[in-house]
Structure 1
Amino acid sequence: MAAQQEMLSGDNVTECKVDEQFINYLYAITYAIILVPGLIGNVLALWVFYAYMKETKRAVIFMINLAIADLLQVLSLPLRIFYYLNKSWPFGRFMCMFCFYLKYVNMYASIVFLVCISVRRFLYLIYPFRFTDRKRMFDVYVSVAGWIVVCVSCLPFPLMRIGNNATSSENKCFADLPLRDIGIANSVLAVTFAELFGFVSPLAVVVYCSWRTVMLLKEPHSASHDLGEKKKALKMILTCAFVFLLCFAPYHLSFPLDFLAKANKIQSCAHRKAIMTLHPVALCLASMNCCLDPVIYYFTTDEFKRRLSRQDIVDCTELEIFSNTL
């Protein structure tokens, strides 16, 4: 009788397992699609913003930091693609944990700097004559503080994946790492903290900036900016909100459920299987921000579009050659 129950229990575990081959190919294909455009787009963005940082005023410091965050993740994608195609990690435990940690640092750094871009663009619209070099240094301080908060706040993600049985997971990495059991109370507390401060609060700020900018558009006699400038500001803020919702909303909606499913706190096999199948899709959407963020720069920033024009590149090249001859 005991043997029969053990067999039934084993069958139940097998039935609750997700299609690992589908998940592996999903990750590998998504990361392969992101790799080249993400690398080119963010390197190009850093070149443009660094070269012309003194001429631009509107959130350029935050855009540079956003591009750096995206580029850090893009550089780790080849290792991720290798793992999901081979299901083996030969690069050591430290590199595994670092790449795993880097994923969440990128995601929450992107959230922070998307919010900062929206707020800075909104404030510039309201107070156009208050932007000075002092304000630019304030943006630098905010960026440094943002990196510190994100890096510290993301430490629990790798720490939660350090399992008690290290030998069984020696060649595993990323989603295959064992999850430490910290109890249901601590789990709920950790998830609530991550959802509230990592998604809900930033979303509220972006929505507020969008709403206030729309309200300003309904005030044609406002002396702060003309109608065209207001529309540009609204386009940038709404684009940030679009990327924010598309990339990060699905992940943060599925994250609490996936956490509970992997901790075996959800009893229904069908529900656990559905959650652990949909969550990787949401995680892939979150990774797409590496490609979508450069789109924000190009379509919402006149300076960026102008710098990439053929004539401007030719002028820059000629200026550099002339400078080298002096």
Structure 2
Amino acid sequence: MTSGNTSCQGANMTVWETAMNQLYTYVYLIIFIPGLLCNTLALWVLCRFISKKTKAIIFMINLTIADLTHVLSLPLRIHYYIHLDWPFGNALCMLCFYLKYLNMYASIAFLVCISIQRCLFLLRPFRAKNWKSRYDVCISIAVWIVVGLCCSPFILMRSTPSSENNSTSCFKDLPMRKLNLRTAVSMMVAAELLGFLGPLIIIGFCTYLIVNSFRQRNQKQQSTGNTIKALRMVRVCTGVFLFCFAPYHINFLLYLMVTQDIITNCAARQAIKQFHPISLCIASLNCCLNPLIYYFMTTEFKQQLSQHGSSVLRGRLMSMESTSSFRE
């Protein structure tokens, strides 16, 4: 433990450690059920009942898969924060740790893809007609590869416990490796530019272009439903992006500086450490918020969910009626 960490340890941080475990437990419990149900239903509808694989449907499917990978790991996280014991081995611990960041940055990447495609198809409608769904598939594969590689430093920075007493530690209790200043600064800049500021600029620019197109068409009285839907879609993507990921990335830069003892003021260190788990919990909420994009912003999703949901209900009612009449 570094001198900075030792001098700043106190009763307040010990109390906060206990509160932080409870925070993770309650937030993950709240997220798990609605996240699992909403994303499973969304994936079922998107994959099975929407034959028109345009309007960012492929990207929405990948966004749902990214959310499900994190949601399915939550029971293991909940077990750890309740019992403070990890009996599942270091490999599974690092996998669950990795999936959290993979979900975060894959979600950011696919929100960017959705915003760009809706903007491009609105401004260049002829390109939308000639666009093939396999292009979106290739882009999605490239996104997974790039994001998967870029998230690897998050687990490489963590040290697996070597002593038997600490072999049951996981997640936040894994020690952080000490990096040299150049490596630490490089990681800070790359994470902030590629993972937050770059996507924020792109989504903001797409929103500006769509708003500008909307105003021009309104002046010419040529505004269409597609323009309104595209504007609504990009605005919701921007809202989810800012609400879920801005707090974490604003704090991430400071948190990494604390772990590397660049920030030594005790009050600042404690404030940054205390906000870090809160920002991570807020980021995890994207698993529940992303399905709102599919339902409220995609006409096909609502239509198919309504049609097939009602048909399934009618089928079950008819089977119940036939069973009851047979018994009579």
Give the letter aligned to residue 139 of structure 2: V
Q: Does the CA-based 8 Å contact 1:258-1:275 persist in structure 2?
A: yes
Bigger mean CA offset, 198-207 vs 123-132: 123-132
Residues 1:90 and 2:91 are matched in the alignment:
no
Number of equivalences: 309
| 1:32 partner amino acid | L
Of residues 198, 203, 206 in structure 1, which corresponds to 2:203?
Answer: 206
Equivalent residue for 1:217? 214
Letter in 2 for 1:105: L
Matches within 5 A, 1:121-132: 121-132=118-129
**Matched letter for residue 150 of structure 1:** V
CA distance in 1, matches of 2:6, 2:276: 24
**Alpha-carbon distance change, 187 to 38 in structure 1, aligned in 2, over 3 angstroms:** same
TM-score by length of 1: 0.89
Distance 2:25 2:311 in 1: 41
Q: After TM superposition, list the pairs within 5 Å mapping 1:164-175 onto structure 2.
A: 165-167=162-164, 169-175=166-172
Residue 68 (1) aligns with residue 70 (2): no
**Stretch of structure 1 that moved more, 176-185 or 233-242:** 176-185
After alignment, is 133-142 or 189-198 more displaced? 133-142
Q: Following the alignment from structure 1 to structure 2, what is the Cα–Cα distance between the partners of residues 245 and 35? A: 22
Contact 1:62 1:113 in 2 (8 A): yes
What SS class does the counterpart of residue 25 from structure 1 fall into?
helix
Which has the larger displacement, 265-274 or 249-258? Answer: 265-274
Deviation, structure 1 residue 228? 2.2
CA gap of 1:216–1:241, structure 2 versus 1, over 3 A, is same
Structure 1: state its 5+ residue gaps: 1-8, 320-326
**Pairs within 5 Å for 1:83-162:** 83-132=80-129, 134-162=131-159
Distance 1:60 1:12, change over 3 A: closer
SS in 1 for 2:245: helix
Q: Which amino acid aligns with 2:249?
A: H
Bigger shift: residues 120-129 or 245-254 = 120-129
| 1:266 equivalent in alignment to 2:263 | yes
CA spacing shift, 1:16–1:304, aligned 2, 3 Å: same
Q: Look up the match of 1:185.
A: 182
**Deviations 1:76-110 (CA, angstroms, capped at 9, x unpaired):** 00000111111111110000000000000000000
Give % identity.
Answer: 46
Deviation at 1:229, TM superposition (A): 1.7
Structure 2 length as normaliser, TM-score?
A: 0.88
Shift of 1:12: 4.5
Q: CA deviation at 1:16?
A: 6.9
CA contact (8 A) 2:50 2:304 kept: no
Q: Does the aligned pair in 1 maintain the 2:161–2:174 contact within 8 Å?
A: no
Of residues 38, 41, 50, the one that matches 1:41 is 38
How far 1:171 moved relative to its partner?
A: 0.9
Counterparts of 1:15 and 1:263, CA distance in 2: 22
User: What is the CA distance between 1:199 and its match in structure 2?
Assistant: 0.7
- Measure the CA separation in 1 of the matches of 2:125 and 2:235: 20
**Deviation of the 1:164 alpha carbon:** 7.2
Preserved contact between residue 41 and residue 294 of structure 1 (Cα < 8 Å): yes
Q: Secondary structure at the match of 1:308?
A: helix
Shift of 1:133: 7.0
